[in-house]
Amino acid sequence: MKLLESQKSILQALKNKEMCIVIGECAVDYDGRAHSNLPRGKRMLLIKADLSISIHENRLIRPTNYMMKASISCELNDKTKTLIIKAKRNNPKETITAEFTEIIDINSYDLPESNDLRLVGSEKELNDALMDDLSFLEAGLKPINQQQYFRTGICDIIAEDAKGRLVVIELKRRQADYGAVTQLKRYAEEVQKMKGVETRGILLAPSIRKSALDLLKKYDLEYFSYDFEIKERSKIKGINKSQMKINEY
């Protein structure tokens, strides 16, 4: 495929905000937050309407190189007989240079930009489901706040238990790790300090890494496991407190 013709196709696609797919032999350099080099080889370059650009090899889901909200240029180098697609941006300052020695195919498509993926089973949704009925987790538990911003982070749920103690809840949709425990610890401390009231911290997750459980115990926090299912909406099916010997409150 002629390079001049290719250049015209790409510029046209950019102008029309069409999804543009370039197949060809290229070498790719990236410089910015890191530095990478991809030797000459056959790849697919993808430009989207929002000026995101990515270079895909014939493996993996993630592209080898990528940039969002790029300034994209496409120029011919008459000396080297190559077509050079450059993507640049500031903040962070970075550059992708794809030098095509051969263009195998170019296709552009007018695909309307949309954003209508409906996702069920996110943490946010589980959070809402839990807030609907906290007594499910423990009798007498009443919701106070959700997604409360602290200096040290964002606390999933704050509630009050039957004995009037504050309860900080950190919810995870998958196995809890160290991060989950240290998050909960931070929020529990924050609440304790702010309110000066005895505060419990509960980590709620489908499972927990053994070492994270050790840390949790050390911090005097509690862990409950739970199951959930996802159909039309997320639904919390059951809570199991027996995995951990908890002092009876």
The residues binding DNA (CB under 7 A) are 30, 32-34, 36, 52, 60-62, 64-68, 91, 94, 96, 115, 119, 121-124, 147, 149, 151-154, 156, 172-175, 177-180, 183, 186, 209-212
Does position 59 bind a second copy by CB under 8 A?
yes
When CB distances are held under 5 to 8 angstroms depending on the partner's kind, the choice from a second copy, DNA, none that residue 135 binds is none
Unique residue bearing structure tokens 């530095």: 35
E strand or H helix at 240: strand 234-240
Query: Min. distance of Cβ 163 from DNA in angstroms?
Result: 27
Does position 61 bind a second copy by CB under 8 A?
yes
Give the Å distances, CA to CA, from 164 to 187, 197, 220: 18, 9, 18
When CB distances are held under 5 to 8 angstroms depending on the partner's kind, the choice from a second copy, DNA, none that residue 230 binds is a second copy
Does position 27 bind a second copy by CB under 8 A?
no
When CB distances are held under 5 to 8 angstroms depending on the partner's kind, the choice from a second copy, DNA, none that residue 213 binds is none
CA distance 41 to 24: 8
Site for a second copy, residues 207 to 226, rule: CB under 8 A: 211, 215
E strand or H helix at 127: helix 123-132
| DSSP per-residue letters across 145-195 | EEEEEETTEEEEEEEE-TTS-EEEEEE-SS-B-HHHHHHHHHHHHHHHHHH
Does position 43 bind a second copy by CB under 8 A?
yes
